[in-house]
Structures are given as C-alpha cells and as structure tokens.
Amino acid sequence: MEAGHTHQAVGSADGHGAVTTELDRPRGGNRRRNLGIVAGTLAIGFLAYALISGWSEIANYAWHPNWGLLVVSMVVIFVSYFVTGGAYVAVVDSLVTPTPSHRRMLAVWGVSLIGRYVPGSVVMVAGRMEMARKYGVPRRATVAATIYEQVLSVGVAAAVGAAFVLVYGDLGPRWLTWLVAFLPLGLIVLHPRVIGPTLGHALRRIGREPLPQVIPLRRVGVLAIWYLAAQLVLGVGVWLGVRALGGPAVGSVAFVAGAFLFSFAVSMLVVIVPSGLGIREGAFALALAQHVPGSVAVALAVVSRLEITVVELLAVGAFGLIARRQ
C-alpha cells in the first residue's frame, strides 16, 4: 500500500508511443538512498533499544496468544492485497484503451511489490513499467497509474488517521499530527483540471506525448472509496493480529486500525526510508502505548510488521503464479 520518488527517468519513444525509461544513479540519488538506509537503521536501532531496555516489562506481560485468530489475521491481510491490486487494475482500466487483461495487470502489480523495499521504490516502478509494457500499456500510463495509486492510498489512509487523532487525541508532536491531517488535501491533485495539465506539462518537457485521457472526477471518487475499503480491510487484519497476541487490552478494532493507518500515513512522509521501515512501527507503538505498556506496544508493532512482511511475500508468490499462467 506504499510511493517512489528517487532517481530520474530519461525517455525515448518505443513502438507503443510510450516513454522509454532508463534508470540512472546520479550522485544525488545515491545520497538519498544512503540517507534512507541510515534513517531506517536509526529507527530500527531505537526500536531494538526499546525492546531490550523494556524486556522485563515484556516478559511479565500477560501474553495469551490466540494462534487461530492470528491465522485469520493473516488471511484477512492476504485478501487486502487482492483488494488493493484490484483497485490498481481499475486505475489502469481508466487510463488505457483498449483495457489490458485484468489478470495480467493484477499479476504485474503484485509481482512489482517486491521492489518497494529498495529506498525510493524505484525498482518497483521500473519493474512495473517494463512488465506492463509487454501487455500494451505505455510506460507513461503506468507512471500515471502509480501516481494515482500512491496519492489515493496515502490520502485515504491519512483521512482515517486524521479521524483517529480527532477521536483519540494527538500523538507525538502537534506539527506532525497537523501534517497528517492535511495530507488528504493531496487528493485535490487528482482533479482532472490539475493532474491533466501537470502530467501533460511534465511529458512535454521530456518531448513526449501527453496521456490520451485522465480519470474523470466521479471515477476518482469511486476509486477513492475502493482504496479506502482496501485500507480498512488491512487495518482490520492488523487489529486481529495485534488482538491475537496482546489480548483485549490492545483496544477496539476502530482504535487499532485507525492507529495503524495513522502510522502508515506518517511513514509515507519520510519517503527516503524504504517502505517506512522503523518509522511506521514507532508511530504505531506510540498509539498502542495508550492501552498497553510502552515496551509491549513496541513488541506488538514490530511483530505486526513481521506478519505483514510474511503475508506480503506469500501474496507476491501468489501473484507470481498468476503471472506464470499468462
């Protein structure tokens, strides 16, 4: 559910009228990559310190793991990937005529997820462009679809996060909560009168043709609801996992799911860190600490990341099998 911002694309036209993208590694890009690794390492280091220093608190907590509920949690999270992938396929359908095979686009989206653990997610975007081009989707359309995807997923997550802060109170520095609250305004970027001229100008700057169409506003609204549904399914899955390990003390589904989506929005503000590693867990733990001891909250946040990572790898494998059947 997570955006790519590093490296530059150098284009030339291919047989589909697409923008041919060559990835380079300028010094600025390398610096951002290194900074992302350092920032992620520091965040993980702080989490590790919190776990080690609070180990007695963790050991004395009344853990009563419910393994059956944990399996249900993993199934729900797994389903959320297919809901999100379906939303991306709908975005591509809205941009490309004739529409490509839904199964192929779902496979392209799913297999590309493995690349987002590279700082800046450039590998994810590049891989998605190359795979989709084989099925007649121009590279520029894939880039546009990815922009829609990232703005919609972060925007709706931030909207839920803003509601969470409104109901349950501020978390961390006030400027950070206000920044998350304003993130949903980024959805304005997807208005046809905004994104159309913006993308057209960017494509003309590199000597390429503009997109033949942008997504109508009503359709953007439908897609926003779709992405909201996907984020809520993921949030419910995370709650089930946290509840399975931490017991009823962790809080209601609304609290945990809202806290998770708030932490996701926070992690997306730090784009240099691969997949928000460490940042998301810190923000999530800060929220969970309202109901459970701080060290226990950190442990639950870290375990939730591990659970999501395992499920994501399983989902990528499933998408890979779909791709092989094409």
Examine residue 293 and state whether it is found in any structural domain, yes or no. yes
Nearest residue to 6 (alpha-carbon basis) of 278, 202, 272: 272
Q: What is d(CA 260, CA 238) in angstroms, rounded to the nearest whole number?
A: 8
- Rounded-to-integer distance, Cα 33 and Cα 118, Å: 8
Q: Is 115 domain-assigned?
A: yes
- The DSSP bridge partners found for residue 13 are 19
Question: CA geometry: angle at 275 spanning 271 and 279, to 5°?
Answer: 75
User: CA-CA distance, 108 to 131, in Å (whole number)?
Assistant: 6
The domain in which residue 181 lies consists of: 9-324
The owner of tokens 């806290």 is 259
Per-residue pLDDT of the chain (326 residues; tens, 9 = 90+): 443 333 333 333 333 333 333 334 444 455 555 554 544 455 455 555 445 555 556 766 778 899 999 999 999 999 999 999 999 999 999 999 888 899 999 999 999 998 776 665 677 888 899 999 999 999 889 989 999 999 999 899 989 988 888 888 766 666 666 677 777 877 888 888 898 888 888 877 767 777 878 999 999 999 999 999 999 999 999 999 999 999 999 999 999 999 999 888 888 776 544 555 567 888 899 899 999 998 899 899 999 999 998 999 999 999 988 877 76
Q: Is residue 244 part of a domain?
A: yes
The domain total for the chain is 1
Q: Does a structural domain hold residue 188? A: yes
Q: Is residue 3 part of a domain?
A: no
Residue with tokens 């990937």: 81
**Cα–Cα distance for residue pair 195/145, rounded to 1 Å:** 12
- Residue 1 belongs to some domain of the structure: no
d(CA 276, CA 24): 23
Q: Report if residue 2 sits inside a domain.
A: no
196 in any annotated domain: yes
pTM: 0.79
Whole-Å CA distances, 137 to 50, 128, 130 = 47, 10, 9
